[in-house]
């Protein structure tokens, strides 16, 4: 159990709120589509804060204009990876932005053990820090299983 006030991983736009229902997720997807973003479903069992590249559950849905289609992909991802973290990511291709515009977690493992911090002493009281996921020692695909 993580000890921050939410007791869980706080990445993404809405981790401090109660889990979004599918209807609420649909509203966020529609907001992004209305602004011309392309949605993508990503999953991982390695939520290290510097792990940028979660696995893509298919390509970003560039030509998809219907929130229901995104939710269909999300449900399919949930079925395939019931114990993984899943996030929805929206890309904005506007010149000068060309980056992620929205990102929020839509599935978590039942148990979120979090991370450890190790310190290696250096000269002059300096420390080198390493953050490791408590599940990180297990092989891919076997983490976060009950």
Q: Where does this chain bind another protein (CB under 8 A)?
A: 2-6, 9-11, 13-18, 20, 24, 27-28, 31, 47-50, 52, 90, 95-104, 114-117, 124-129, 131
CB of 115 to another protein, least distance (A): 4
Nearer to another protein, 48 or 65 (CB): 48
CB of 19 to another protein, least distance (A): 12
Nearer to another protein, 50 or 110 (CB): 50
CB of 143 to another protein, least distance (A): 14
What is d(CA 68, CA 51) in angstroms, rounded to the nearest whole number? 29
Tokens of 71: 């939710």
Cross-strand bridge partners of residue 72: none
The residue whose two tokens read 């590249």 is 53
Nearer to another protein, 4 or 76 (CB): 4
Cβ atoms of residues 45 and 135 within 8 Å: yes
Cβ atoms of residues 48 and 107 within 8 Å: no
Those residues whose C-beta lies under 8 Å from the C-beta of residue 10, and which sit 6 or more positions away, are 4, 16
Nearer to another protein, 79 or 99 (CB): 99
């Amino acid at each position: 159990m993580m000890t921050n006030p939410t007791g869980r991983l706080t990445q993404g736009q809405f981790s401090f709120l109660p889990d979004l229902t599918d209807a609420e997720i649909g509203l966020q997807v529609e907001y992004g589509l209305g602004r011309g973003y392309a949605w993508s479903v990503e999953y991982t069992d390695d939520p290290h804060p510097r792990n940028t590249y979660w696995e893509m559950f298919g390509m970003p849905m560039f030509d998809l204009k219907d929130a229901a289609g995104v939710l269909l992909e999300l449900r399919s991802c949930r079925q395939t990876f019931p114990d993984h973290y899943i996030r929805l990511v929206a890309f904005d291709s506007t010149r000068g932005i060309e980056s992620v515009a929205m990102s929020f977690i839509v599935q978590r493992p039942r148990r979120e053990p979090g991370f450890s911090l190790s310190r290696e002493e250096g000269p002059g009281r300096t420390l080198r820090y390493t953050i490791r996921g408590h599940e990180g020692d297990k092989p891919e695909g076997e983490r976060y299983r009950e």
